[in-house]
Amino acid sequence: MEPTAATRRPYRSSPSGALPSPPSGTIRLAAKIAGHRSSRLRCPSSGRTSGRVATCSLGRDARDGGSSAANGGATSLRPPVPAGAEATPPLLTPSSNEGLVFDVGAAGAWDGREVGSPVVKRYVGDESERWFLWYHGCGDGDGSGDCIGLATSANGMHWKRDETVDGESAGLVVGRSGDWWAFDTAALRPAEVISMSSAKVSSPGAFYWLYYTGYIAEKVDMPATAALKSLPGLAISQDGCHWARIEGEHHTGALLDVGEAGEWDSLFLAAPRVVYHEAGDLRMYYHSFDRQSRQFAIGVARSRDGITWAKLGRVMGGGPAGAFDEAGVMCGHVVRMGKEGQGYLMAYEGVSGDGRRSIGVAESPDGLKDWRRRGGEAVLEPSAEGGWDDGGVGSPCLVQMDGEGWRLYYGGVGKGGRSGIGMALSDGPEMRSFKRCGGGCFSL
């Protein structure tokens, strides 16, 4: 069934904080959700199915005619690359690679121009551990939009792109939708991956749930920047590599819609970072641009099942005049601290008055309200002149290590045009400051 032209708005703000009821229909997914890769690396377009499962389009063929969603507005750090843009000039070689753990792909690769938006997970076994890194990437001057890649590691420092697809598409696992009505036809970026089982999926065992930002080639009206409209989406997988989209109630398949005219999130929704609080209680932190305050801000939504969400409103805005985040906050990554009752921490990307991007930390007793900054300074700033990330740092992702220390993975851009993914270590469990790891931990 094709979607209607009218925009449905089933998601209204919930001042009481009540969780939305699950949808009446049941998502039925075969035990093997990953099987439809063709020789052209594209899953066949399934359209809307009665089970509300849509297949993912994969590979370079699924990205023709798109537009990069990397911009200084709806997403962090990088200005947009219009469709059909001419080849960009060569990237300048930085004088320092301190903190860099994952670099762009080889020339001509799907991620040869840019990588960012790290989502890092550590899985510890009896005798070994394995690390997963989902990230966004885009090629050089081919007019393609951002897609999602996967790399793995044994230590979180030295990474290797997934080899399910080889050659120029090595690492590529999720591409843009091929359905004209979908919310993610221009580009997409990962925001969070959680592992959980669900009665909504008729298969035993846990699944990976990928929450991501999807973009369409529609610009939003923002001051001094060109941003693309974006909404949050969901895909699930058994192995972290092969994915099936799960359609939300919005007519485009997104999980949530923008707010009504005059509401703080009426332009776009981006970076849906999801926290599992307890059974039947998940929280989604996302950001938008508040036209009234002229600041980026972070809001929260709540769900019983991870699919149907109710907005609770804006929870954090920009800092005071002169602060590193006076122009707003975005890309908040929230983690629960230790045992119940110890509160929540949020690492976030702060935007200064002149557009400089740094990373700060805030805390809240319950994760829903009363977010307060820890000190007035950033915990990680752009590197000194000549560093690979001297242009800005953002899209933070926290990973707790043994001994109560933390690793902070982040996206960085340099003034010379290069981008990459970096890693810094906390000075202790309080996360008052971070120090970049040794330079040159390059990816394969």
Nearest Cα to Cα of residue 21 among 308, 277, 278, 247: 308
Q: pLDDT per residue over 257-280, tens digit each?
A: 999 999 999 999 999 999 998 888
Nearest Cα to Cα of residue 395 among 369, 435, 373, 422: 422
Q: Which of 20-34, 81-95, 356-370, 413-427 has the lowest mean pLDDT?
A: 20-34
- How long a stretch of residues is the chain? 444
The pLDDT, as a whole number, for residue 220 is 87
Tokens coding 308: 């149907």
The pLDDT, as a whole number, for residue 247 is 94
Nearest Cα to Cα of residue 72 among 257, 274, 323, 330: 330
The pLDDT, as a whole number, for residue 430 is 74
Q: pLDDT per residue over 133-170, tens digit each?
A: 999 999 875 556 899 999 999 999 999 999 877 777 88
| Rounded distance between C-alpha atoms, residue 136 and residue 189, angstroms | 5
- pLDDT top residue among 95 and 175: 175
What is the average pLDDT across 350-361?
A: 95
The pLDDT, as a whole number, for residue 85 is 43
pLDDT category at 125 given cuts 50, 70, 90 is confident
The β-bridge relationship of strands 100-102 and 53-55 is unpaired
Could you tell me which residues come within 8 angstroms of residue 318 by beta carbon, excluding any fewer than 6 positions away? Answer: 293, 295, 296, 297, 325, 326, 327, 328, 329, 351
The pLDDT, as a whole number, for residue 72 is 42
Give the CA-trace dihedral at 71, 263, 119, 52, to 10 degrees.
-110
- pLDDT top residue among 228 and 301: 301
- pLDDT top residue among 87 and 368: 368
The pLDDT, as a whole number, for residue 51 is 33
Token pair 């997963």 in the structure block, residue? 132
The pLDDT, as a whole number, for residue 221 is 82
Helix, strand or coil for residue 63?
A: helix
Is residue 343 scored above 70 in pLDDT? yes
pLDDT category at 128 given cuts 50, 70, 90 is confident
The pLDDT, as a whole number, for residue 142 is 53
pTM beyond 0.85: the answer is no
What is the average pLDDT across 429-441?
A: 75
Mean pLDDT in the chain? 79
Contacts 24+ apart (CB under 8 A), 42-49: 42/175, 42/178, 45/178, 45/179, 47/2, 47/179, 48/1, 48/2, 48/3, 48/247, 48/253
Share of the chain above pLDDT 90, in %: 56
The pLDDT, as a whole number, for residue 63 is 32
Q: Map out the domains of the chain with their CATH numbers.
A: 53-72+81-86+98-436 (2.115.10.20)
Tokens coding 378: 């950033």
